[in-house]
Structure 1
Amino acid sequence: MPSPDASKAPQDAIRRELYLLTLYRILEAALLCLVLFSPVGALMGEPRHALLGRAVAVAYLAAAVILFATGRRGAIRTQALYGAVVDVAAAALAMHALPDSSAGIAMMVLFNVGAAAFLLPMRLGLGVAAMASAALAGEYLWSLLGDNAATRPLAEALMFAVSYMAVATLTTLLGRQMQASEALAERRGSQVANLAEVNELIIRRMRTGVLLVDGSGEIKLANEAAMLQLGGFAEGRRDLLLAAPQLASRLKQWRENGDANAQPLQLAPDLPEVLPRFARLLAEGDQALVFLDDTSQVARRAESLTLATLGRFSASLAHEIRNPLAAISYATQLLEESREIPEADRRLLEIIYQQTLRMNGIVENVLGLARRERARPEHVELAGFVQHFVEDYRTSHPLNDDHLDASAPAGTVDVMVDRRQLQQVVTVLVHNALVYGRMPGEPARVGIRAYADEHGNPVLDVTDRGPGIPETVAEQLFRPFFTTSGEGTGLGLYIARELCQANQASLDFVPVPGGGACFRIRLPGIRAIATA
């Protein structure tokens, strides 16, 4: 890939180099005027053509000033090319007018040629060098033919011509390399700036609060999460001791002995507790980074790890538990068929059988954490599903005095859902309602209702007429292993919500005015799936 030329390089750096070249040109013109218009010129030798020399000096100075004034506005390549033409023409005329100073003038032009080649592409840079070499040759022939004698040997003119070509080549290559390096540095700088902005955005949007505190306790930086966790800090308090005295005390303790108190803190009323962590920004510096971890998020992460570990463990343990349970259940059923078993022992066998069923249910619930099977949505007519569910449930689960009713609109309520998983979710909700949703000494009254809400979205409610659920308990209903019963595992509602989420549905608890409880499933309709 070719290196970028001057037009592609960073404009500010190239224009600065052009500015320095125009200043040097003014210096050259001023020195030429000094030689021709002051007594100092006598030390340089008598001019061959004084009038020509003075005219060239004045014209060159005027052109240098004009090029300096327009160098900041015009095109860089055009300015460099025009300046090179002026330099070479003025140098050739001045060398003819001042033969004793011709070597010095030719030497000064060497810098102009190199600088012009630095600012121009290689083709134009070598063209400037060739033009300067041709000007030297032309001035040599002019002196030889006009005065019948050359003031310097031909070898000197040839050496200057070779020097112009060599310097132009080297400076062109150097210019291309420097311009490519500057362009690369500019791109890298832009990338670093963008990366810094991204890092700042990430830190600002992190859920973990981050503070940068110096040795005097002043807060230098704080992300959005930290400002929310500090509460009053948003009012402009930059001193950590004023914003969060307890946190400042923990930081001081950590700085003094390197140990941090592992107990959570509540930095502001009505805000969750945080667990502070500290780290030095630099090994020898006094600035410290303070990380404020929300304890609720830490608990959720620990809970997720626990569930993942339990899922892997339960998968390997399933056969070890279920096989003995199946053997015990089968043996119990065979014993119950024996006519030699007394009635008192039959009662014990019944207890054994019931407990094996309970143990098998617990294993099934735990295995549900490990399975996490992908949902296979299909078209389900919700009203018909509710009616069939109630009939199947009554057949397989004797209700005795309990009541389980279904209600649905006259029309159809179409949904896209995994029928088997929806069956599992509704079974859990109905079972919980029959067990816990009853008034003491009264039969349970459970209803399943399918309908479309005001937006046309399908909804399924499972309600009971029991004592209701306290608010403190309702907040933890869907947490795994949370139960108010000594016989439950606390996994039923958790698995039910997970299955709903796998089907793009939601499961929520809705308090019922006047007593009772309602668990509401909001399902995706046919239109929602089609437009997703």
Structure 2
Amino acid sequence: MVRPQETIRVELEEYLWRALQVFNVYRLLVATAFLLFEQAGLTPRVLGTANPELYSWVVALYFSFAILMIALLVKRYPGYKSSVAMQISLDIIAIVAIIYASGEVNNGLGVLLAVSVGVSSLLIGNSKALAVPAAATIALFAQVFYSHYIDGLDSQFTNSGLLGTSFFIISYLSLTLAKRLYYTEKTVLESKADLASMEAVNQDIIQTLKSGLIVLDESLNIQMLNDAAWRELNMPSAPKMQPLKAISREIYLATKQWLAKPLTDSMLIKLASRNIELQLSFRKLGADEHNLILIFLEDTTKLTQQAQQLKLTSLGRLTASIAHEIRNPLGAISHAAQLLNESEGITENDKDLCAMITRHSLRMNTIIENVLNLSQSRPPQQESIYLESIITQVKKELLQHHDPQPEIDVLIKPQDIQVLFDRSQLQQIINNLCQNGLRYSLENTGTASLHIYAAYHSPSGQAYLDIIDRGKGVKEQYKDKIFEPFFTTSNSGTGLGLYLARELCQSNGANLSYIPLPSEGGSCFRIEFGQ
């Protein structure tokens, strides 16, 4: 990872190279203007009057140098400091040579030299830049000296002195400005680097949150979401900047409801695509019409599992404390009924009453044992299980021990469906549901039959298992009660089978639900496994 200081240094160098490229563009434009004026015969009278041939050569070489510098700057050769020194040196030589070829210092060409001096101070940015006006002044005086003593022209030392003085003033002002610009730019880049670092930290915190987070704009378009929210929304492709309505209609409707009546900041919804419940928490960022909306997503599955474990623990404490007190007198009642049934002189009516006492005593004992088994159930030992193997095992046991011989159709599509579950608990759940289904099919049709179907939901990829019987189905008024403890419509049932099956499913992160089949008749119990 690049350190912030290193990043700042690299960006500052990038700005300096760009400034050097702009300066070379200026040089190319000046050289091109000189060249075009000469070729078109429009050269002003002050240019090249003293030595036209030298003027032509210098202009051509100056233009060629500007072209060459384009290629060198693209490759950034031979380095920034060397490039600056080379350009400034050749600028001084070329412009002084053009001044010499034009015959006078006060012909206005000194302005070009002043520009080069000022820009060089900005590009160098430290006290070394003062060497540039010194070199320009020396070159200018050397040109005047040569013109006066060798060519016999009029002395122009005063003008050269004034121009050299202006070079130092321009260089000093440019250097002061360069330092301020440098520190300003450095401060901006440091602030930018700090903001980028903070943004990276915030992004890392947001992405590692266990709760899902969605950020919406005022139009309810998704601006950002973390990995947890992406998974909760069934991993949509390219969700950013898409309308929330297109990604999750349930969350969209909940958000609209909250915006219309923000009486509470939380809401519980069910995602039909994954059959899970989500706790939504809403927050607003900003106080105007351009504010953002934060939505926190919390999957209640784990909370349900934790609550289930606490409930089972509490139930275990309760049943452990009262089981002994109930089973002792219950055993005494059952034993007394057996003795009474075996006594002499008992009538048939009394024997029937004794049998009733024994039968209901056994039923109460079964209920106590079921409650004890439920309360003392261990935490699930989840493992990856192929549904085909465990369904095949349950089917084999049912065919061996059920009388009459049942008809069980199994369809698993695809055959390699894997789920994360406690093996013994899943076998217990499937066996319980199959036993119920075979019994009700036999009562309704005279044939013990079942259809078992397993597949994946599309597009969520969530595995599910359907156990379908041919019974009469569950009456409408009982649909909301069949998973309650001790609720039963059978004279021989305890009312704990479906309750226990659902509790075990929830402990493993799955869900057991009832699906009526009014057109076909019968019932369908569906296990939807967690992802």
Deviations, residues 372-416 of structure 1 (Å, cap 9, x unaligned): 33136489586565333554x66xxxxxxx74636699xxx9998
Q: 1:81 to 1:517 in 2, by over 3 A?
A: same
Q: What is the identity, as a one-letter code, of the residue corresponding to 1:337?
A: H
Aligned to 2:367: 358
Aligned to 1:445: 448
Aligned to 1:212: none
Question: What is the alpha-carbon root mean square deviation over aligned residues?
Answer: 7.2
8 Å Cα contact 2:408-2:450 kept in structure 1: yes
Q: 1:367 to 1:37 in 2, by over 3 A?
A: farther
Q: What is the identity, as a one-letter code, of the residue corresponding to 1:51?
A: A
Aligned to 2:245: 225
Q: Offset at 1:358?
A: 1.7
Q: Offset at 1:424?
A: 0.7
How many angstroms apart in 2 are the aligned matches of 1:173 and 1:384?
A: 82
Q: Offset at 1:429?
A: 0.9
How many angstroms apart in 2 are the aligned matches of 1:380 and 1:470?
A: 34
Q: 1:480 to 1:408 in 2, by over 3 A?
A: closer
8 Å Cα contact 2:122-2:174 kept in structure 1: no
Does residue 405 (structure 1) correspond to residue 425 (structure 2)? The answer is no
Q: 1:14 to 1:282 in 2, by over 3 A?
A: farther
After TM superposition, the structure 1 stretch with the greater mean CA deviation from structure 2, 314-323 or 1-10, is 1-10
**Aligned pairs for 1:356-395 within 5 A:** 356-362=365-371, 364-365=373-374, 371-375=379-383, 377=385, 380=389, 383=392, 386-391=395-400
Q: 1:318 aligns with which of 310, 316, 340?
A: 316
Deviations, residues 346-386 of structure 1 (Å, cap 9, x unaligned): 85565355224224424544666x83331364895865653
8 Å Cα contact 2:121-2:174 kept in structure 1: yes
8 Å Cα contact 1:226-1:292 kept in structure 2: no
3-state SS of paired residue (1:467): coil
3-state SS of paired residue (1:371): coil
How many angstroms apart in 2 are the aligned matches of 1:318 and 1:98?
A: 110
Q: 1:330 to 1:276 in 2, by over 3 A?
A: closer
8 Å Cα contact 1:87-1:109 kept in structure 2: yes
Q: Offset at 1:506?
A: 11
Q: What is the identity, as a one-letter code, of the residue corresponding to 1:225?
A: K
Q: 1:64 to 1:171 in 2, by over 3 A?
A: farther
Q: 1:482 to 1:169 in 2, by over 3 A?
A: farther
Q: 1:471 to 1:65 in 2, by over 3 A?
A: farther
Aligned to 1:51: 50
Q: 2:223 aligns with which of 177, 194, 200?
A: 200
How many angstroms apart in 2 are the aligned matches of 1:13 and 1:199?
A: 40
Q: Offset at 1:56?
A: 9.3
Structure 1 gap ranges (5+)? 29-35, 39-48, 209-220, 234-243, 266-273, 395-401, 453-458, 524-532
How many angstroms apart in 2 are the aligned matches of 1:405 and 1:168?
A: 98
Aligned to 1:420: 424
Q: 1:115 to 1:173 in 2, by over 3 A?
A: same
How many angstroms apart in 1 are the aligned matches of 2:310 and 2:356?
A: 37
8 Å Cα contact 2:454-2:465 kept in structure 1: yes
8 Å Cα contact 1:403-1:443 kept in structure 2: no
Q: Offset at 1:322?
A: 3.0
Q: Offset at 1:264?
A: 11
How many angstroms apart in 1 are the aligned matches of 2:453 and 2:266?
A: 50
Q: 1:82 to 1:520 in 2, by over 3 A?
A: same
8 Å Cα contact 1:406-1:449 kept in structure 2: no
Q: Offset at 1:325?
A: 1.6
Deviations, residues 101-154 of structure 1 (Å, cap 9, x unaligned): 999887654303224447xxx9xx97x976764454455456567639994799
Q: Offset at 1:324?
A: 2.2
Q: 1:319 to 1:374 in 2, by over 3 A?
A: same
Aligned to 2:346: none
Q: What's the TM-score once normalised by structure 2's chain length?
A: 0.51
3-state SS of paired residue (2:381): coil
Q: Offset at 1:432?
A: 2.4
How many angstroms apart in 2 are the aligned matches of 1:521 and 1:322?
A: 30
Q: What's the TM-score once normalised by structure 1's chain length?
A: 0.51
Aligned to 1:84: 88
Q: Offset at 1:292?
A: 11
- Percent identity among equivalent residues? 13
Structure 2 gap ranges (5+)? 35-43, 78-82, 204-214, 234-240, 270-277, 342-352, 456-463
How many angstroms apart in 2 are the aligned matches of 1:180 and 1:64?
A: 38
How many angstroms apart in 2 are the aligned matches of 1:141 and 1:287?
A: 67
Aligned to 1:240: none
Q: Offset at 1:488?
A: 3.0
How many angstroms apart in 2 are the aligned matches of 1:522 and 1:206?
A: 17
How many angstroms apart in 2 are the aligned matches of 1:157 and 1:289?
A: 60
How many angstroms apart in 2 are the aligned matches of 1:340 and 1:227?
A: 67
Q: 1:460 to 1:250 in 2, by over 3 A?
A: closer
Deviations, residues 7-57 of structure 1 (Å, cap 9, x unaligned): 7449878766766788899999xxxxxxx979xxxxxxxxxx9836x9999
